[in-house]
């Protein structure tokens, strides 16, 4: 029996997007997306091209017109249009950027030239950290793991320019070539800044970073809250690194009582390394860290050098995006809520928010029913899980209260100055909130973003307006399609509250064990099945998925699609199961999920995400998830002989 293909007049799916020659029981991802993939090669200015990129591009086109209007008619000072207009105007003025050269960094480069000791570097780092320069530590403010209503300082490992710790140590040809290219980037930026011997300088800097990386956590370790939560009293900090208390005060963290050290061993190792490293190397390292953080806002030679490594070498891009796209993307990161306010006013009607609210309610109800029906979980743990779910806070579309940007100054001067002003404002805004209660209205993502998240310390699920667009969500689509697309995303974020990391936080967002020993052991046993499955997926002949690194996302994908399916069944019980375009609701549900993950990646991008990203490549997120669901096999009439279909003994089932 041939696999089901949508009719020519299907209101959602296009037959051209399918690959009828692919067997859905072997490779469902290719069956649902093969035609689209063949017709949509990766654009030269992208590392990948997929559904998320299509929506981002459409959103960016709208934002471009909004930012151009703000730049042309910025409005009164201290208004959204004024700030956004000044930022965009500055970023687009390439002539001014070239004229300014390194002038905006002169004072800080001069201070770097005076470094004569590790203590001097720590003092310089206290100034640079406000601009997003970690050398060698990062600093931020977030809810306390043990008391989520209060804020806490967080010091993390930093100062490394490669994507992940193991890039410094792997000896395969790909890793060696990547380090060589990275060394060339360091040399080029230092040369442009006047370094007389850039080759030797870059070798010294890479050697210093490699020594730092020895004590760094891997990407997998960084996901473990038990490893990364280590509270220290203020008086104990200098025992880890001399001058650390002074670093915090100089950075603006006055009056703090304690701080979380994400990796104490890293700080101790860094302290010893700083003491034994020649001053010339410390100067070159600090100079590189500053230039690397500023490169995209500096003259074209700096920007192109940075792109050659981070864009072309690591991502596989053949050319940079257009200037307006680069400025817009930077604005979305550095002044996200200002950009978002313009976007929401133009692109997110109130009725869309109401429809999403209804979907979220159905998904939460489905998760509640799923927890209640679990056979492997005992009553005490189940009661705690239900209490946590009941305490979830959904945030949809955009914040109820926008951030206060009073005091933000963005000059019409060189763009790197505008960017550093925006970064510094946000850094100090967060530091000023250190002694205040956690703000329940805070969003960690701009409402224009094509993304979503779960925050374990806030126990909240957040769905920005940017992702609430076709093909993820459409008010005109049938329920099966919306539940398979945005419903799976909503379910994914809900399940993050109960994945390997989220499950360690309770209903109040505290790092606390609410499991019985027996139930936790059973959870770990079931999670290990997913780890084994994904460890077996071959991405390239010499590269497989990291099941440990991607475990949280894989649990969320499977749980999210499962509860979205359960929620859809509740809806269909009321509305009926009428086929559309020759496809049953269940088939449309799974096809919408597959379409959501369609993507064409470059090989370089695949290598990057497999080694550093907690998300598995999309092909395996799709196939690996549906292969664990008996409902998928039933929807497409697949028997146990189908390679994608796992039997009961091999199937992963958690939530």
Tell me the average pLDDT across 339-358: 88
- Each residue of 262-286: pLDDT tens digit? 999 999 999 999 999 999 999 999 9
Q: Has residue 572 been placed in a domain? A: yes
Confidence of residue 1 (pLDDT cuts 50, 70, 90): low
DSSP state of 502: G
Shared-domain flag, residues 352 and 287: no
Neighbours of 226 (CB within 10 A): 10
pLDDT of residue 355: 82
Residue 362 has pLDDT above 70, yes or no: yes
Per the listing, tokens 């029981």 go with 25
Residue 127 and residue 43 share a domain:
no
CATH code, domain carrying 255: 1.10.1380.10
Evaluate if residue 352 carries a pLDDT over 80.
no
Q: Are residues 202 and 344 in the same domain?
A: no
Instruction: Look up the domain containing 244 and give its range.
Output: 102-297
When divided into structural domains, the chain yields a total of 2
Residue 348 has pLDDT above 90, yes or no: no
Q: Are residues 249 and 370 in the same domain?
A: no
Token digits of residue 263: 């990796």
Q: Span 619-631, mean pLDDT?
A: 98
**Alpha carbon 620 to chain centroid, angstroms:** 18
Write the pLDDT tens digit of every residue in 511-521.
999 999 999 99
**Is 569 within a domain?**
yes
Same domain for 475 and 607, yes or no, is yes
For residue 508, name the pLDDT band (cuts at 50, 70, 90): very high
At 413 the pLDDT is 87
74-108 tens-digit pLDDT: 889 999 999 999 999 999 999 999 999 999 999 99
At residue 168, the pLDDT reads 99
Same domain, 286 and 174: yes
- Judged against a pLDDT cut of 80, whether residue 2 lies above it is answered with no
C-alpha to C-alpha distance for 118 and 124, rounded to whole angstroms: 10
Where on the phi/psi map is residue 521: left (φ > 0), alpha (ψ -120 to 50), or beta? alpha
Percent of the chain exceeding pLDDT 90 equals 95
Closest listed residue to residue 253, CA positions, set 409, 419, 122, 435:
435
Query: In sequence order, which residues have a C-beta less than 8 Å from that of residue 83 and are 6 or more positions away?
Result: 335, 338, 405, 408, 410
The pLDDT tens digits of the residues spanning 213-233 come to 999 999 999 999 999 999 999
Mean pLDDT within 32-44: 98
| 628 domain residue, yes or no | yes
Whether this model's pTM surpasses 0.75: yes
Mean pLDDT confidence for 493-502:
98
Residue 585's pLDDT is: 98
- With respect to residue 473, please indicate whether it lies within any of the assigned structural domains: yes
For residue 536, the domain's CATH number is: 3.40.390.10
Q: On the CB side of 406, how many CA atoms lie within 13 Å of its CA?
A: 1
64 belongs to a structural domain: no
146 belongs to a structural domain: yes
Identify the pLDDT of residue 242: 87
pLDDT score of 191: 99
Instruction: Check whether residue 271 and residue 363 sit in a common domain.
Output: no
Q: How long is the chain?
A: 655
What are the residues whose beta carbons fall under 8 Å from the beta carbon of 493, sequence distance 6 or more?
A: 452, 453, 454, 461, 462, 463, 556, 560
Check whether residue 355 and residue 290 sit in a common domain.
no
Q: What angle do CA 453, 556, 157 make, to 5 degrees?
A: 60
Rounded CA Rg of the chain: 25
Name the helix (H) or strand (E) containing 49.
strand 48-50
Q: Which of 213, 167, 188, 412 lies closest to 304 in space, CA to CA?
A: 188
d(CA 445, CA 422): 16
pLDDT tens digit string along 389-438? 999 999 999 999 999 999 999 988 899 999 999 999 999 999 999 999 99
CB-based contacts of 105, cutoff 8 Å, min separation 6 = 290, 291, 294, 416
Strands (E), 456-498: 460-464
Are 251 and 125 in the same domain?
yes
pLDDT score of 75: 86
Both 518 and 592 in a single domain? yes
Task: Decide which of 268, 297, 326 is a domain's last residue.
Answer: 297
Tell me how far CA of residue 531 lies from CA of 137, 220, 525, 541, 642, in angstroms. Answer: 31, 12, 10, 20, 22
Do 293 and 355 belong together in one domain? no
> Does residue 593 lie within any of the structural domains?
yes
> Is 157 contained in some domain?
yes
Pick from 245, 275, 297: which residue ends a domain?
297
- Same domain (yes/no): 132, 272: yes
Output the pLDDT for position 254. Answer: 85
Helix (H) or strand (E) segment spanning residue 206: helix 198-213
More confident residue, 540 or 2: 540
């Amino acid at each position: 029996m041939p696999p089901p293909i949508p009719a020519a007049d299907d209101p959602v799916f296009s037959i051209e997007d399918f690959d009828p020659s692919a067997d859905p029981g072997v490779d469902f991802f290719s069956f649902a997306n093969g035609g689209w993939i063949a017709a949509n090669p990766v654009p030269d200015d992208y590392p990948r091209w997929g559904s998320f990129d299509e929506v981002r591009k459409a959103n960016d086109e709208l934002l471009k017109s909004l930012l151009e209007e703000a730049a042309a008619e910025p409005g009164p000072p201290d208004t959204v249009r004024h700030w956004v207009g000044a930022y965009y105007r500055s970023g687009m003025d390439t002539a001014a950027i070239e004229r300014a050269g390194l002038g905006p960094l002169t004072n800080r480069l001069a201070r770097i030239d005076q470094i004569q000791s590790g203590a001097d570097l720590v003092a310089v780092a206290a100034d640079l950290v406000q601009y997003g320069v970690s050398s060698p530590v990062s600093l931020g403010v977030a809810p306390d793991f043990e008391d989520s209503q209060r804020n806490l300082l967080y010091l993390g490992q930093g100062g490394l320019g490669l994507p992940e710790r193991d890039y410094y140590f792997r000896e395969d040809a790909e890793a060696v070539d990547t380090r060589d290219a990275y060394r060339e980037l360091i040399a080029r930026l230092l040369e442009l800044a006047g370094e007389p011997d850039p080759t030797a300088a870059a070798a010294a800097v890479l050697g210093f970073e490699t020594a730092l990386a020895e004590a760094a956590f891997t990407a997998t370790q960084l996901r473990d809250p038990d490893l990364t939560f280590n509270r220290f009293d203020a008086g104990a900090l200098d025992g880890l690194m001399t001058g650390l208390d002074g670093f915090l005060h100089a950075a603006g963290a006055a009056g703090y009582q304690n701080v979380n050290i994400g990796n104490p061993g890293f700080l101790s190792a860094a302290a010893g390394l700083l003491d034994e490293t020649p001053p010339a190397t410390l100067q070159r390292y600090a100079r590189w860290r500053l230039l690397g953080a500023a490169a995209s806002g500096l003259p074209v030679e700096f920007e192109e050098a940075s792109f050659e490594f981070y864009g072309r070498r690591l991502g596989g891009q053949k050319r940079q995006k257009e200037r307006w796209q680069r400025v817009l993307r930077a604005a979305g990161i550095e002044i996200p809520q200002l950009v978002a306010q313009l976007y929401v006013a133009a692109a997110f009607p109130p009725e869309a928010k109401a429809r999403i609210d209804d979907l979220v309610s159905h998904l939460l109800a489905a998760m509640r029913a799923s927890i209640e029906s679990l056979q492997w979980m005992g009553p005490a743990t189940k009661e705690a899980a239900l209490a946590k779910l009941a305490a979830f806070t959904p945030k949809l579309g955009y914040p109820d209260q926008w951030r206060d940007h009073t005091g933000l100054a963005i000059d019409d001067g060189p763009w790197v100055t505008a960017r550093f002003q925006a970064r510094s404002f946000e850094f100090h805004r967060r530091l000023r909130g250190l002694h205040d209660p956690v703000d329940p209205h805070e969003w960690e993502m701009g409402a224009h973003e094509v993304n979503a998240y779960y925050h374990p310390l806030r126990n909240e699920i957040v769905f920005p307006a940017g992702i609430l667009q076709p093909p993820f969500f459409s008010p005109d689509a049938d329920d099966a399609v919306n539940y398979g697309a945005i419903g799976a995303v909503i379910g994914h974020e809900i399940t993050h509250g109960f994945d390997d990391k989220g499950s360690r936080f309770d209903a109040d967002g505290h790092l606390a064990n609410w499991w019985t020993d027996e139930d936790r052991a059973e959870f770990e046993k079931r999670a290990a099945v997913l780890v084994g499955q994904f460890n077996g997926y071959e991405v390239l002949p010499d590269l497989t998925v990291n099941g440990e690194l991607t475990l949280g996302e894989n649990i969320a994908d499977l749980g999210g699609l499962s509860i979205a399916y359960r929620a859809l069944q509740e809806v269909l019980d009321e509305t009926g199961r009428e086929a559309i375009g020759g496809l049953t609701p269940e088939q449309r549900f799974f096809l919408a999920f597959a379409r959501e993950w369609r993507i064409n990646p470059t090989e370089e991008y695949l290598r990057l995400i497999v080694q550093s990203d907690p998300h598995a490549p999309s092909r395996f997120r799709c196939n690996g998830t549906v292969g664990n669901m008996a409902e998928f096999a039933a929807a497409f009439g697949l028997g146990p002989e189908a390679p994608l279909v796992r039997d009961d003994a091999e199937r992963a089932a958690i939530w």
